[in-house]
Amino acid sequence: MRTPTLVIAAALGLVAAGAGIAPGFAQTPAAPAAGRTAPMLDIAQVHARLEAAGYRSIDEIERKRDRYEVKAFDAEGRRVELDVDPATAAVRKAEVKRERRADTPPQGLGIAEIHARLEAAGYRPIEKIERGRDRVEVRARDAEGRLVELDVDAASARVLGTEVKSEPRRQG
C-alpha cells in the first residue's frame, strides 16, 4: 500500500512543478524573426524627435544603411555630429565639433517642412537634407524612381535644379 501512495505523491509533485514552470514558458515573448528589424523613421520624424530632445539648428540629416548622421547644436549650444538610431531616433553617439562661425544662421523653412513639401511633390524616400544659408541640398528618389540630387530654395522648398545620379531600380 505504501508504494502506490508514493507514486501518486510523486506524480502530483511533478504536475505541480510543471504547472509552476509552464507559465514561465507561456509568457516568454517570441524572439523577432531572423533578419527583421524595426522600420526606419523618416527624416521629418527624426528631426521632430531630436528637437523634442533639445537639439536645435539641425541643418543636416542623412540616412545611412543602419543609422542617420545629423549635424546640430545640443542643449548647451555646442555644435555636435550625431549618430542616430534609425528606428527610435535615440542618439547612439554625439561628437562635439567646433563652434559655428559667427555668421547669420540659415533662414527659411525647417528641415521637417522641406521634407513634407518634397514628399508631397513625389520625392521619396528622401535620403539626405543639408541646409545652407539660403539653399538646401537634397538626395532622394523622384516619381520615376531615379536617384536625384536637388538644389532647393530654403524659403519656399521650390526645386531650383535637379541632377540625376542613377536610373530607376529594376524590379526583380
* CATH of the domain spanning 111-166: 3.10.450
Q: What is the pLDDT of residues 36-65, one digit of tens each?
A: 567 999 999 999 999 999 999 899 999 999
- Go through 124-161 and write b for each residue having 16 or more CB atoms within 10 A of its CB, e for each that does not: eebbbbebeeebbebbbbbeeeebbebebebeebebee
- Name residues of the chain where pLDDT drops below 50: 1, 5-33, 101-103
Instruction: Say yes or no: domain 43-96 is CATH 2.60.40.
Output: no
Q: Could you say which DSSP state residue 108 is in?
A: S
What local confidence, expressed as pLDDT, does residue 29 receive?
Answer: 37
- Measure the CA angle with vertex 126, ends 123 and 132; round to 5°: 105
pLDDT one-digit tens code per residue, 21-37: 444 434 433 444 455 56
The CATH 3.10.450 domain(s) of the chain lie at: 43-96, 111-166
